[in-house]
Amino acid sequence: MGKLGVSVYPERSTFEQDAAYLDLAAHYGFKRVFTSMLEIKGDQETVLANFKAVIDHANALDMEVMVDMNPALFAQLGVSYDNLAFFHELGAYGIRLDLGFTGAEEAKMTRNPFDLKIEVNMSQGTHYIDNIMAFSPKRENLLGSHNFYPHRYSGLGQDFFDYATRLYTQYNLNTAAFVNSHAATFGPWPTQDGLSSLESHRDLPIATQVTHYVMMDTIDDLIIGNAYASEAELKAMAEAFNAEFPSLQVVPNSGMTDLERTVIFDNLHSYRGDRSEYLLRSTQTRVKYAGEPFPAHDTELIRRGDVLIDNDGYGQYKGETQIALQPMPNDGRVNVVGHLAESDLFLLNYLRPWSNFKLSEAQ
């Protein structure tokens, strides 16, 4: 089972605010903490003391702090890749290398005496990870995580994301990616338009971002890139991540009956395996509600993402639940009872035949 995480940036906030946020995140089961030490300005001793205070607080909550670094900062701190005692004394769970070395150094770092985790940047799309693996790293201490992108339109595209992720999953390494909070206001840099790994996630509700990752099934850990997410977002993220089945949001039509509401929202749906190019069929509702009437209403033209129930005119099919995969005419025998929320429409691409899912009312 993967882990959920949050990010804190001690240089841009106060210890009290960071500590309160970590307390709240821990309450909702978050285990990972990301923080960035890509540059240290001002009095180095004071800055490091602030980081250590936050890390100590996270450790007291049984959370795991990953510190983002680059080779220039190694030099600034006088730290060598073959002596990681500094990070052990700081209390870190591991080090994330924003920019790596040549492969040999990373492999050697995984064999440190403190068992610190070494997390490398998955978003390069090169065979960097193959170089590291060639030098026999201690695999359980080697992790990967994607970058986040503060500049709008600079985030990863889906095809590249999938390609870059496969380079890591082929070695069964732990993977992580970042999601974006809409309540959060800052990250490690002054300018940010949110902090997601995938560009397509930048404006989506956090639960939808998480559900997408769960349905992709290639990323283990999900971390909120910006600070501070709201309590409602932390709760929604935990619920989506830990849900027994993925849930897609539906905007009901005003004509949806009480029975149809029960059919749609109070049942576990199953994507029938002998699939059609036109309809995702959840057929058990027609069995369960065979004795109930489904009078015709809202029999308009059908669009992709419409949530449908066959009405009395369809004989033995009445009560069957469907989701339209493409536009279709409606001969009057199908009730259009709702539509997938626009934010969730793309998730149709990730539902697999024979998989189960739920439908929930969009908030």
Whether the predicted pLDDT of 299 surpasses 80:
yes
CATH 3.20.20.70 intervals, the chain: 4-243
| Residue type at position 28 | Y
Q: Are 200 and 156 in contact (CB under 8 A)?
A: no
What distance in Å separates the CA atoms of residue 116 and residue 134, rounded to the nearest whole number? 20
CATH 2.40.100.10 intervals, the chain: 248-361
Find the mean pLDDT for residues 165-178: 98
Whether the predicted pLDDT of 355 surpasses 80:
yes
Topology annotation, domain 248-361: Cyclophilin (2.40.100)
The full DSSP string for 315-336 is GGGTT-EEEESS-B---SSEEE
Four-CA torsion 308, 314, 318, 320, nearest 10 degrees: -40
The tens digit of pLDDT for each residue in 3-47 reads 999 999 998 999 999 999 999 999 999 999 999 987 788 788 888
Show the tokens assigned to 129. Answer: 């990870």
pTM value > 0.85 = yes
Q: Which pairing describes strands 279-282 and 321-324: parallel, antiparallel, or unpaired?
A: antiparallel
Paired strand residues for 142: 118
The tens digit of pLDDT for each residue in 82-124 reads 899 999 999 999 999 988 888 999 999 999 999 999 999 999 9
Q: Which CATH superfamily is domain 4-243 in?
A: Aldolase class I (3.20.20.70)
Residue 16 burial (CB < 10 Å; 0-12/13-18/19+)? exposed
Q: What is the mean pLDDT of the chain?
A: 96
